[in-house]
Structures are given as C-alpha cells and as structure tokens.
Chains A and B, each alone.
Chain A
Amino acid sequence: MIRSIVRTTGAALVAGLVLGAGVTGQGRPHIDPLAMRILKASDALIQQAERVHFRARINYDQVLPTGQKLQFGGDLDLAVKRPGRIVATYRGDLDVKKVFCDGKRVTLYDQAANVYGVIQVPEKLDGAVRAMAEEAGFSIPLIDLVCVRPGFERFSRIQSGHYVGVHRIAGVPCHHLAFTGPKVDWQLWIEDSVRFLPRKVVITHKTLPGAPQYVAWIREWDFAPNLPDALFTFRPPAGADEIEFLKPGGKK
C-alpha cells in the first residue's frame, strides 16, 4: 500500500531533494511523514522482538590528507536477547573485537592485544548500551538498530527526511529513506514488506574532510534464533589480561 503512494509521489520527492535541498517554502526543513512512519514502524518491530540476530557487512572510508580515500571493512555478527543480553563479534581488516553483555556486565575483548575490559551495566538493553557509551566511551556497531539508543537522540535532530523511492537491496525491494542532520546525513533502506527490516545503511560524515562514508549491508535477520545464555558469557582466552577504561574525554 505504501508502495503505491510512493510510486505516485516518488518522482516529485526526488525532484524536491535535488531542487530544494529539503527546505520548504517557509525555509523550514521538510520531514516527510511517510519516511518517518516507515522508520518508526521498523523500529517498533525490532524493538518489540525478544530475540534478534543479524549479520552485516560494514565498509568505511579513511581519508588521507591528500584526499585519497582508503576503504576498510569488517563483518559483524550481532545477537540480542531481551531484557539485556548482547553478543557481538566484529572481524575487521584492522581489528577483531567481541562484546559480551550478560545483563550485568559488559565485556569488550580485543583480539590483537588479547585484552578485555569490563563494566557493570543496568539490566536492560537500552541502559546497558547507554552505559557503554557514557562510562566506557564505546558503542557496538549497528546496535542502534535494535535498541532505543544514544544514537536515537541524534534522530531527534533530524533536519530533513525524504522518501526517495523503492530500490532493491540484494534483490529485495526496499523503501529508500534519506535524512539529514547537523553533522551526518544518513540513508536507510527498509524492506518493503510487513517486516520492515533495515537492509542497508549509509552514513555520510559531511563535516569531516573528504566526507567519509560508513556503509552497512544487513542480512540474515532472525527473530527466533537459538540463543542459550552461555553465549552471552565471556570466557577469557588463554593469556588474556583485563584492562581498565580511561574515562571518556579525559584521563582515568
């Protein structure tokens, strides 16, 4: 149904993006209610799920001062079991990291250095994610997709939002949404079905030199994965040492 609305208005919206840069006649930013509705529908579905598992391919730019861009990437495997369990493995070109949250503690493991850090966190997912950001200064890639997030506050600073059209990601027709914010612009492709699953994310850090981009292709969404509690418990590998977190923004 949404698609039919889109087909009639899509071209006009794209034209609006090109011509008006998302600004209405009154000079105020335009946020398309259709784009917001799809975004919120997607959020609601994922955030109601008791168990979620997905995989993602992430690529990101490194900009050298010459303007030359290098692209690096990694593969993410993320599982969440509410109220507060998270396990994530990120195998990247430059680092391999794992995060375990058992509902009480979060452990961040770095494979190259063979070290891990632990912080105590609230029982629920959202609180745990917030504690990671505020007390330890890190976040899990794409965790924003599954919880009410520190990142979502940025969503409240959306300056404009557009519905671009229906475009395929890995063969699946998706609602292509485009938003702008003060520091980043982002695009989201959400599956055109009752499942409203995010399939792709592109973030443009427009205020940084060379406007590096972060791209994630999300696949293998599963809302009934087998997730035994033991999966969320960190067992230090041989020789691993615990280290502390420096307080974000300053010394220990």
Chain B
Amino acid sequence: MSRVRAIAIPVAAAIAALLGVSTSAGAQYAWGGWGGWGTGIYVPQQMTQAHPVVRNVPYRVGKWELPKPVGTYVPAPPAGAIGKAIGGKQYFQAGPDFYLKHGQGLIVATPPLGGVLDRVPIGSESIRVGAVEYHAYNGAFVRRTPKGFEIVPAPVGAVVDKLPEGATETKIGGKRHYLAGGAVYRPYYRGATVVYQVVEPPKAEPAPK
C-alpha cells in the first residue's frame, strides 16, 4: 500500500501568490493587533511537513491545477508526462511537476536545475531581484530564458516564505543558515513572520597547510 504524504502543504501560499497578494502582509493580518490592518489574504506560514496543521487544502482552483507539493505520491505517471533526463536523473515531467520513481509509483521532486517549463507555474511567487523577475515554486526559481521558463539557481537577495524541502540547518559565522539545492538561506523576520533570504555562499576556508 502506498501512503500519500501530506499534500497541500505550500498550497495556500501558492494560492495567495496566484492572486498576487503579499504573503507577508497576510501573516501580519493574522498576527497583528486589530487584525493587523494588513492588506492581503491570510496565508499560513507554518505549513511544513514537520508541523502539519492543515492538510488537503484543495490544490485545484477552478480549471487551474497548481504545482503539486514536493513529496506528493502518485501511483503512475500522470497523463501527458514526458520522460526527461536532467542532471543525471530520470524525471517524468508533467507541466511544472517533476516526478522521480519512488517504490511502485512516483513522487514529486524539487524541480531540477536546467528543467524547462513552457509557462510560469500557476500560483508561483513572483520575486524581483534587481531588474530580473523570478518565479518561485516548490523550492525552485524559474526565470525566462531563450529556452523557455528555466529552473535556475536561487538568486542571491531573493526572499521566500518557505525553505525548499530537505533544507538542512547550519551555522555560518555563528549565525543560523540553511543549505538547500546548492543555495544558502538566512532566516529573517519580515514583520512577525520568519522568511528566508538567499545569501552569498561563504568563501571557502583556506586549506590548512
């Protein structure tokens, strides 16, 4: 028997992003005095695997299907999925979702660097770093390139509400950071909400002689 892991986790955030509302304002609305007077739809910030407070928020909005959260299990490749080798792994891609084999079925993986989408994923979070617009979903960043919408390394300076799946905690210069997909994230407060900013990786320590 396959067990479906908690789906729906970043979905509410994705849904809010779909409407172009600021998730930080949303959080402020929930937490702040007098309801915070925020302008935004409230978005739960703590929906993580480790803190599964809300499950099964519908991830289909009307006719739009949102990207499936990382870890979603399916018994067979979805209709229209195309096999693609990216970075030495065999993926099945269906829209913005990249599946890897998992037991008898497939599981949604973090979108791999070099993967290409034909459109901006619905519900992705639009993030501007300098003059460049990125779209974040499922712990990955998408940018328009001649190939299409390509999954690129996390841009330094971007702020996201949620760490990619599998991020690991570490200390850099005595401060807490997280490592995920080759990028370094540093936690900050944005209002009363904990967010994560992509920062420059630390310079390699000079090798001891």
Contacts and interface: CB of A to CB of B under 8 A. Distances in A.
Contacts of A144: 33-34
B79 interface: no
A151 B34 contact: yes
Contacts of A141: 31-33
A63 B32 CA distance: 17
Nearest to A146: B33
Nearest to B32: A139
B197 interface: yes
Given A65-B19, A115-B187, A246-B197, A60 B29 contact: yes
A66 B44 contact: no
Given A61-B42, A63-B41, A212-B41, A203 B34 contact: yes
Give the most central of B28, B187, B191: most A CB within 10 Å: B191
B45 interface: yes
Given A66-B58, A138-B28, A184 B37 contact: yes
Given A94-B53, A243-B188, A64 B12 contact: yes
Contact of B35 (A60, A244, A252): A60
B179 interface: no
Interface residues of B, number: 45
Contacts of B192: 97, 108, 110, 138
Interface string B23-64: 000001111111111111111111100010110011001100
B6 interface: no
Given A141-B31, A151-B34, A244 B189 contact: yes
A97 to B, nearest CB: 6
A183 B194 contact: no
Interface string A113-139: 101010000000000000000001111
A208 B51 CA distance: 28
B102 interface: no
Contact of A243 (B12, B159, B176): B176
B5 interface: no
A227 interface: no
A149 B33 contact: yes
A243 to B, nearest CB: 5
Contacts of B58: 64, 66, 68
Contacts of A72: 30, 42, 44
A95 interface: yes
A230 B130 CA distance: 45
Contact of A95 (B29, B46, B57, B187): B46
A138 B32 contact: yes
B31 A65 contact: no
Nearest to A215: B35
Interface of B is mostly: mixed
Contact of B37 (A62, A110, A112, A151): A151
Contacts of B189: 108, 110, 115, 117, 136-138, 243-246
B140 interface: no
Interface in A145-176: 149, 151, 154
Nearest to B26: A62
A213 B189 CA distance: 25
Give the most central of B46, B159, B175: most A CB within 10 Å: B46
B42 A60 contact: yes
B9 interface: no
Interface of B: 12, 15, 18-19, 28-47, 51, 53-54, 57-58, 61-62, 157, 159, 175-176, 186-192, 194-195, 197
Given A95-B46, A108-B189, A138-B191, 11 more contacts: A62-B30, A95-B45, A112-B46, A138-B31, A139-B34, A209-B41, A214-B35, A243-B175, A243-B189, A243-B194, A252-B197
Interface of A: 60-66, 68, 70, 72, 90, 92-95, 97, 108, 110, 112-113, 115, 117, 136-144, 149, 151, 154, 183-184, 186, 201, 203, 205, 207-209, 212, 214, 241, 243-246, 248, 251-252
